[in-house]
Amino acid sequence: MSFRILGTGSYLPKRSVYNDELSQFIDTSDEWIQQRVGISSRPICTTETTADMAYNAALGALEMSGVSPSELDMILCATVSADYAAPSLACSLQSMLGATCPAMDINAACSGFIYTLETAAAFFGRGLKRILVVGAERLSRVVDWSDRSTAVIFADGAGAMMLGDGDTYISSKLCAKGDAEVLCIPSFAGTSPYYEVESKKPYVHMNGQEVFKFAVNAMCTDLADVVAAAGLKIDDIAWIIPHQANARIIDAAVRKLDLKPERCLKNIETTGNTSAASVAILADELFRSGKLKDGDYIVMAAFGAGLTSAACVIRWGGW
């Protein structure tokens, strides 16, 4: 089952936190972060909730597509940092938009937005006509700000796509390899007087080197697989939208697959890693840049906790 993209939107908090600001309270430096991760500043919420960011990104996608909230058949949100465990972020967004359609969240960590696109494709197969898909994260809430290996990486933001029925979602691949050791965010322990096991702190725990190895392999394999499944060659792909986790992961994939670096997009320098929002924010930047031509093939590829990974090929146009 397939769809076409009718519009995109994104939102980044106005407050950018620079590396030098972090080095005032964590043992790190601008030079280390730029060299090892490729980030110089990251957007961090000062007042916004995750739902506020999702709402602003959704407004952009609705406006670009000319679809009104009352016309939506479904809202799907990808997130690991919703404001509430329940209700879902999608239900909060539905209320803010004044929509009445079904709404639910999907958690596949940083691969979540592509998992959500695939879920939307299945709903189009059930006859739905307009689905709003949003990735939104307030990771500043789940990071331990005294842990230098994660505090310098993660950030806040949201991206959205308005999807209509169509035939431009060409191929896709979803993977999961259950592992809560390498990268996880434990839930809050609660106050049960009966539970006897000590809980991990409810912040991001990450084995950076293991994630790095998994990420490069997963991205290269998934990207090559979805391109082949689409009946295309790598050179046929006009734009690659990789998850923005570390500039060195993207550079390693470029080298391994012999990609044209200028076709493999990056905005991590000023956005940081926004998990499920990352590829959606970058897609919105591309779609609004005027660089896309009708018929251009785009690959999106992501990886994250789970461990999950996902990729897809989309053809631009089809209106």
Number of residue whose CB is nearest ligand COA: 208
Tell me which of 77, 91, 101, 110 is the catalytic residue: 110
Catalytic position from the list 19, 77, 243, 264: 243
Residue number, 137 or 284, with CB nearest to ligand COA: 137
Parallel, antiparallel or unpaired: strands 297-304 and 237-242: parallel
Cβ at position 249, least distance to ligand COA in Å: 6
CB 72 within 8 A of CB 131: yes
Nearer to ligand COA, 168 or 273 (CB): 273
| Shortest spacing between CB 114 and ligand COA, in angstroms | 13
Measured from the CB atom, the residue of 164 and 242 that comes closer to ligand COA is 242
Interface residues with ligand COA (CB under 6 A) are: 28, 32-33, 36-37, 110, 148-149, 152, 206, 208-209, 211-212, 215, 245-246, 249, 273, 304
Given the complex with ligand COA, which of 129 and 148 has the nearer CB atom? Answer: 148
Minimum distance, C-beta of residue 304 to ligand COA, in the bound complex (Å): 4
Q: Which of 77, 246, 273, 312 does the annotation list as catalytic?
A: 273
Residues 6+ apart with CB under 8 A from 121: 1, 2, 3, 169, 172
State the nearest-atom distance from the C-beta of 234 to ligand COA, in Å: 23
Instruction: Select 50 or 273, whichever has its Cβ closest to ligand COA.
Output: 273
Q: How far is the CB of 310 from ligand COA (least distance, A)?
A: 12
- For the question of residue 243 being annotated catalytic, the response is yes
| Residues forming the active site | 110, 243, 273
